[in-house]
Amino acid sequence: MAAQHTILLVGESNVGKTHYGAQFLKRLMVKACALKMSGAPTNLEAFTTALSCLTEGKSTGHTPANTYVESVWPITDEAGRYAELVWPDYGGEQVSNLVTQRRIPAAWRERVLGATDWVLLIRLHSLRSEDDLFSRPLQSFAAAEPQGEAAAYDPSDQARIVELLQMLLYLAQFHLDRALRKPRLTILLSCWDELETTELPADLLASQLPMLWSFVCSNWTSPTVIGLSALERALSKSDADQEYATRGPEEFGYVVLPNGVKNSDITLPIQRLMADGI
Ligand SMILES: Nc1nc2c(ncn2[C@@H]2O[C@H](COP(=O)(O)OP(=O)(O)O)[C@@H](O)[C@H]2O)c(=O)[nH]1
Ligand SMILES: [Mg+2]
């Protein structure tokens, strides 16, 4: 069966991709979600390892792949629509390096080209919210001391994420003379529980990363922003969370939909993409 959607999940290191995958997998296994696994997924090791830690109420350490590895999950929704979920693992810091070194593994390039949907995970809590041109009035920079030649150029976190999207767009050879419909873009604000906010996901992104938000809105016709807390709370690698171990990891985690409504089905961001047509 040809996939109607190929959904690529990307994000820098440590944003929560592996734990999201592990929780997603568990929801599929206990059938506590809108989606079903409809065949044999490949390369599940990283996710099943994380899942066995979660079952004990612990989080798992970061185990970067040495090479490019991808896990592909065949998924169907309640209406029988078929999608492939692609979780690329690019070896440690590769996504961050990608921007500085401008190199992309050939296999990943194929995936970027072939995907109908991009899901970008961003962990706002771990980004530096330093002042820059986009968060302070211009006058405050005019008054500042000149930095001098020695100051190294270090792009802000949001500039790096914009650069990442630019590179993906370039790779996939999209023309930006018109806003894109395809690939559609969903931004998942991961580890949402860390943010302790009641704002709508898109409003929060717009206020915290205004340059990125403006880039996204000018290049995509309808970007979607969803809050994701795959774990619902911070877990330690060594001290087990008893409630987690007793109730099971599938009892934890939620998404905050664009309208602010919370739902415990963390597969909804994917289900929505499958239901929307191309
Ligand atoms: N508080 C909180 N922490 C999370 C959540 N998801 C993941 N984490 C933590 O974030 C860290 C990075 O997660 P991981 O899945 O390894 O990120 P990856 O490098 O993108 O695969 C781990 O220490 C997790 O315990 C969440 O929903 N809430
Ligand atoms: Mg990982």
Which residues have any ligand 1 atom within 6 Å of their CB?
11, 13-19, 59, 62, 191, 193-194, 229-231, 233-235
Nearest protein CA to atom 4 of ligand 1, as residue? 191
pLDDT tens for residues 160-201?
A: 899 889 888 888 877 777 778 789 999 999 999 999 999 999
Say if residue 183 is preceded by a cis peptide, omega within 30 of 0: yes
* Selection from 148, 159, 41 nearest residue 96 by Cα: 159
Closest CA to 205 of 120, 267, 263: 120
pLDDT averaged over 10-residue windows placed end to end, the chain, 278 residues: 87 92 96 92 95 97 78 96 91 64 77 93 85 56 54 74 88 78 93 97 96 95 96 97 97 98 97 84
* 262 domain residue, yes or no: yes
CA distance 86 to 74: 9
| pTM for this prediction | 0.90
The reported pLDDT for the residue numbered 91 is 64
Q: Answer yes or no: is 149 within a domain.
A: no
| In-domain check, residue 105 | yes
Residue 164 burial (CB count, 10 A): 19
Please tell me the residue having the least CA distance from ligand 1 atom 25. 59
Of ligand 1's atoms, which has the minimum distance to the CA of residue 194? Answer: 1
Residue 249 is part of which domain span?
5-143+158-275
Judge whether 107 lies within some domain. yes
- pLDDT recorded at residue 150: 47
| Number of domain units in the chain | 1
Q: Please report whether residue 151 resides in a domain.
A: no
- Residue 69 belongs to domain with CATH number: 3.40.50
- Ligand 1 centroid distance, CA of 181 (Å): 30
Nearest CA to ligand 1 atom 19: 14
Residue 148 lies in a domain: no
How confident is the model over 221-257, as pLDDT tens digits? 999 999 999 999 999 999 999 999 999 999 999 999 9
C-beta atoms surrounding 183 within 10 Å: 24
Structure token pair of residue 231? 């774990």
Mutate to test the pocket of ligand 1, among 59, 94, 123 (most ligand atoms within 8 A of CB): 59
Q: Is residue 100 part of a domain?
A: yes
